[in-house]
Structure 1
């Protein structure tokens, strides 16, 4: 019995470690590749449409549109569209006053960003036609983007090598508390130690919610935006891996995103993300697994995306649950057997928790060190939040369990009005841009 438990724990730990070992290779790439390995120079300035899905975002939508109309890019080549989705406030009016073209949508059955983007693309096709734009940007209403964002994205897009691009996601409110800092480090880690290495080795990057660009060609091939799962961004990324459509990354295109600061908001948001990952895994998991062996051009991209959506945490939870159950039941056994079971099971539980914390702390510390100058916080805050980062991710454990059994729907998150001048990173970017001009 004890030998079987020990063997099970060893095999499961070895399997998880082997499956995600490649991310340690990504970590090494992110640490040692300090010099930018690519320089892009655009030969053409393309025409783009900006798509913003907004629900009751009256307070913040104007700041995003203001940062878009202030871009260091020809204004006539950047059209801004907002879909006011089931709004009960004056989001539509605020967006129009800021300079956007607004479409209002009311559909309480098909709710969520994916449906809203699909609706907007359908309306644009009817009003402008399929050849109106070279690409489509997607932003969330609470974003503020750096003055050179579109120009930098255009440089990479103009190479013609990528059908979609993602950007560098920074935070408007990193230092508010351990929750907002947890989000901030996670997105910076995603940029530095996932998409940056992916770009280096030539495999597919992954879209992350906001601040991305899709080519008009892909939109036409897909017949619009047919991605309606709770995590439509990951669904799109998985589909690109399967189809061989390349997603690139532009490190110099920076956006600032507002993070939740209350645990209730964070719980609701991450519950939706967790449920959405399960949905993507259920819909695309087998195809991605097959693609790891049969895809002619994207075998590793399929594997990378499979590991991204795979419920690896559930395997860890299975191991923890089994050992905790043994700890409870061992007291019904004779004393000498109970001691041996307790030693084996408790050791496995403690070891799993410690290793989990160490690995997450390592990623958090590496991110803090490499992105130090980009983090808008004091030195003490940066150090403190590096230690709380694993605790933030530990809270995914109950979220992952609840997401398995509960029906989850998209819920709006209240955002706080913050001007571009109030965002520390934006202040320096605006000052730099003013100096150039």
Structure 2
């Protein structure tokens, strides 16, 4: 009898200690991001003005984007910024449609690329960048902007980003909004996530004068950074996060411009969403494997102003969700062992069931709170009806919950670039008018 009780207590202690360690690790690693929320809610982001205008090149790696590429180029051509200081280069990457012709007709310089061995945005950007250096060396571009073909820009985008560059930033990201937030719960999930990233991560980092992170599209990199790198040398599945990690290790601070607004088209089918997020998850694992050591070292040895930036980036790429997955799997194994009769410690089983429920509920509640907070803080920026804004606050946690199986499968399955079809054409003037009304109301 005493042996049975002792074994149950021992098993219970082991289960509880394991779950407590997981919870404590999460808390210690990520609590600082709650401080970010406080910073955003209580302090204004710094404003910048430019002493002069600078010359820029725009690079767009586009694959079969004939339906949307003209909108992006048009939104660049109508900027409140001297048109002669912006040249648009489209890398028509392995296209089988009229992307090159449409882009050329819209006013872009087009470089057709055909390479089925080196596939991916990073390779296309590197090829295009070197073509610009070779053929347009006399232009003396001071920085290079990177956009996706489905983007459109607010009319003041370049004016605002120029102020950031003129202030000394070597790289900067911008405010990423969605042009199809209201399509369904999937596009809304993306929309909330990117707004949360812009507002409660990058804006807080800007305010605290630490480094931000580039996220996919809507950013610039100074020419001297690219020249020093010998081109676009970042070729992992998430080349944007790889660039961010590499730069922060090297002591380059990435800035953020909250007044430069970009609209991005989000996937609306679960298959496209799964494929895209699966690639992202795999890419984050790749970046962690390549750069975690450098970030850990930088958090200890970098100049004092850059140590926290290294830690923050480490937490960004760290597979934090794996802690939740490991906890759920561990406790699920105990439950299965009990169900098959291999294990009979009932107290430990009850503890495991409680832990699984707690882990899932805690995750859903946390995401719901962030979804609600982001939606209300950015209410006027979200382009959809009031009813949909409210509805999608409740579906956002479900969207985020689907990351768990994606992150788990990405551990063991290879990932590759899979094109996502973009088809939503928008009225650029309408978007700019809406953004102007939003800013004037603040």
Regarding TM over 0.5, the answer is yes
The equivalent position to 2:186 in structure 1, one of 176, 179, 191, is: 179
Is the CA contact (8 Å cut-off) linking 2:70 and 2:106 kept in structure 1? yes
> Per-residue CA shift, 1:379-423, capped at 9, x if unaligned?
2211111111111011011111111111111111000141225x8
RMSD: 1.8
Matches within 5 A, 1:15-414: 15-33=25-43, 36-129=44-137, 132-160=140-168, 162-296=169-303, 297-332=305-340, 337-414=344-421
Is the CA contact (8 Å cut-off) linking 2:45 and 2:206 kept in structure 1? no
| In structure 2, C-alpha distance between the alignment counterparts of 1:425 and 1:384, rounded to whole Å | 23
Listed as ranges, the gaps of 5+ residues in structure 2 are: 1-10
| In structure 2, C-alpha distance between the alignment counterparts of 1:319 and 1:75, rounded to whole Å | 55
Residue in 2 that maps onto 1:6: 16
Residue in 2 that maps onto 1:426: 432
Shift of 1:427: 4.2
Shift of 1:333: 5.2
Off by >4 Å, runs of 4+ in structure 1: 332-335, 430-433
Listed as ranges, the gaps of 5+ residues in structure 1 are: none
> Per-residue CA shift, 1:352-400, capped at 9, x if unaligned?
1111111111111110111000011222211111111111011011111
Query: Alpha carbons of 1:130 and 1:19: their partners in 2 closer, same or farther (altered >3 Å)?
Result: farther
With 201-210 and 400-409 compared, the bigger mean Cα shift is at 400-409
Shift of 1:286: 1.1
| In structure 2, C-alpha distance between the alignment counterparts of 1:314 and 1:417, rounded to whole Å | 35
Give the 3-state SS of the residue equivalent to 2:52 in structure 1. Answer: coil
Give the 3-state SS of the residue equivalent to 1:426 in structure 2. Answer: helix
